[in-house]
Copies of this chain bind each other. A is one copy, B any other.
Amino acid sequence: MDSALAIADRGGLEAVTLRAIATDVGATPMALYTYFADKDALYEGMRDRAFARVKLASAARRSWRVMLDAAARSVFQLMREHPNWMPLVAHQSGPPTSALAFFDEVLELMVKDGFSLEEALCAYGSAMSFAVGSVLFEQMMMGGGDVIARRLALLKELVARAPGRYDNIASLASKIDRWSFDDVFDLGISSLLKGIEARPVRPRLRPARSLRAR
């Protein structure tokens, strides 16, 4: 599984062939079938192996906000370091078990803070969704490697083709020569957690009897 992840890291997921893994670990392609049923099972194993690297423990036992922030940031950084692993995330095979304890602790802290269990679940899902989505969106906008300059050039070209139509993009493209997606992530996760903390009205679960003054 480590060999497969390393091969994917170097040459993308399409470079992960049974023959490539076999020669890497010094075996025959068919010998691998002892350890997983088929290629889908291989992908699932790779995904769990990759997610096990997400650092959750360090932020534990603090506020749910710090925990969610740290977890989202860790997922973001991991997938950014290994962009070729991204397609593995889409492989639908249930939640990775390594996150269970962390998940439970976040829920506990949020319930202590007055959230309902369902709200806590939604908050957890939102934070993780934003984390994986940030990687996905960055990859889509930026492409692989250091093509930021190329993207900006493309953007400028598109804008130049229809003068006057995309004024804001034009001024943005001329101002920014290096766009760091870190800023997007930072604003996004902090805004999301701030919004969650503001606690939306929950009429069904807990009808507001008293109105707290701000």
Q: Which residues of A pack against B, CB within 8 Å?
A: 86-87, 89-95, 97, 100-101, 103-104, 107-108, 111, 117-123, 125-126, 128-134, 136-144, 151, 154-155, 158-159, 165-169, 171-172, 175-176, 179, 181, 183-188, 190-196, 198, 200, 214
Number of copies: 2
Q: A108-B167, A117-B168 are in contact. Are A94 and B192 (CB under 8 A)?
A: no
A168 adjacent to B90 (CB under 8 Å): no
Contact of A133 (CB < 8 Å), options: B91, B132, B168: B132
B183 touches A191 (CB 8 A): no
Q: A94-B154, A154-B94, A190-B195 are in contact. Are A184 and B122 (CB under 8 A)?
A: yes
Within the complex, what minimum Cβ distance (angstroms) separates A127 from chain B?
A: 8
Contact A87 to B87, CB < 8 A, known contacts A94-B154, A130-B133, A184-B121: yes
- The CA-CA distance from A47 to B159 in the complex, in Å, is 21
Check A187/B155 contact, CB under 8 A, given A100-B169, A128-B137, A130-B130. no
